[in-house]
Structure 1
């Protein structure tokens, strides 16, 4: 997805220019739903995201954990104080969903509390969210790294979500047939090294 490409494309290309200048990379759109299939069919060599091994011949390794925050424009009425759960639920929300699922992890947490939020806008790219949030009264639960170095970051107010949740592990996934492949092992090692610098 665009979030993973943004995180990895530049540092990977910089390292490849030094260590393996003839290696070509291709970022392809995938979701947590179709990534296992793409790996099974050898359409891709490696998947990165909030994924877990759903098939027996797939391997995973956690690269880092992601924290979610509530983001809104700095002039948003809710930006002036600690965000309370009832205010969060009443606000108009932006949902970023790569799979098209109209419900995210926030909706599942709220449902357990007997609550439901209003999703006013749904998009399928993390890159769109900061600009939308900076120019509307929408709020969003979004991973911190996707807004951290965005050109709209200075226009946004970030605060803790008003409920407990587990941080999201971002993993790489590959098929067993690549487990002992030297080039693949090198790439996985490079990704682990890059993530240690996050």
Structure 2
């Protein structure tokens, strides 16, 4: 959000880790893969709470100084409406593979093939950067 302490200077790993964080977890987990990457670099972030849904987390971030770390694809369509600002992470996160599994008896089933192709297209779409006017 405008006026958040992280928006005042470039985001470094140290500054990112020092601010209060909120995770998104239906199970109330306060740690996720970001914490492992930070630990490898000698940092620990201050996670003070978890929210059960992304919508709840974004509402809390809008009204507080809490930081929620989410993929751009998740926030892209709603951040302007909520008055939120997104900033690049100061660390590189490894990609998370997304896999579809099915029984081999469905390999040549036209309906199942269509379903797999549709699921792949739909699941990739939010993570595809929007086209720029030059493209």
* TM-score, with length taken from structure 1: 0.55
Task: Name the structure with the higher strand share.
Answer: 1
CA contact (8 A) 2:20 2:48 kept: yes
Provide Cα deviations, 1:147-176, integer angstroms capped at 9, x if missing partner.
Answer: 11116555111111111222334x242232
Deviation at 1:116, TM superposition (A): 1.3
Partner of 2:131 in structure 1? none
Deviation at 1:74, TM superposition (A): 1.9
Structure 2 residue runs of 5 or longer lacking an equivalent are: 129-135
CA distance in 1 between counterparts of 2:27 and 2:102 reads 22
Deviation at 1:85, TM superposition (A): 1.3
CA distance in 2 between counterparts of 1:196 and 1:86 reads 33
Deviation at 1:138, TM superposition (A): 0.2
Equivalent position SS for 2:101: strand
CA distance in 2 between counterparts of 1:130 and 1:139 reads 9
Q: Residue 149 in 1 paired to residue 92 in 2?
A: no
CA distance in 1 between counterparts of 2:103 and 2:27 reads 25
Provide Cα deviations, 1:109-132, integer angstroms capped at 9, x if missing partner.
Answer: 111122211111102322222211
Aligned residues, how many?
A: 125
Q: Residue 160 in 1 paired to residue 88 in 2?
A: yes
CA distance in 2 between counterparts of 1:85 and 1:150 reads 26
Structure 1 residue runs of 5 or longer lacking an equivalent are: 1-72
Q: With a CA cutoff of 8 Å and minimum separation of 6, indicate the structure with the bigger relative contact order.
A: 1
Equivalent position SS for 2:75: helix
RMSD of equivalent CA atoms: 2.3
Does 113-122 or 145-154 show the bigger shift?
Answer: 145-154
CA distance in 2 between counterparts of 1:183 and 1:127 reads 34
Deviation at 1:143, TM superposition (A): 0.9
CA contact (8 A) 1:94 1:140 kept: yes
CA distance in 1 between counterparts of 2:16 and 2:22 reads 12
Deviation at 1:181, TM superposition (A): 3.3
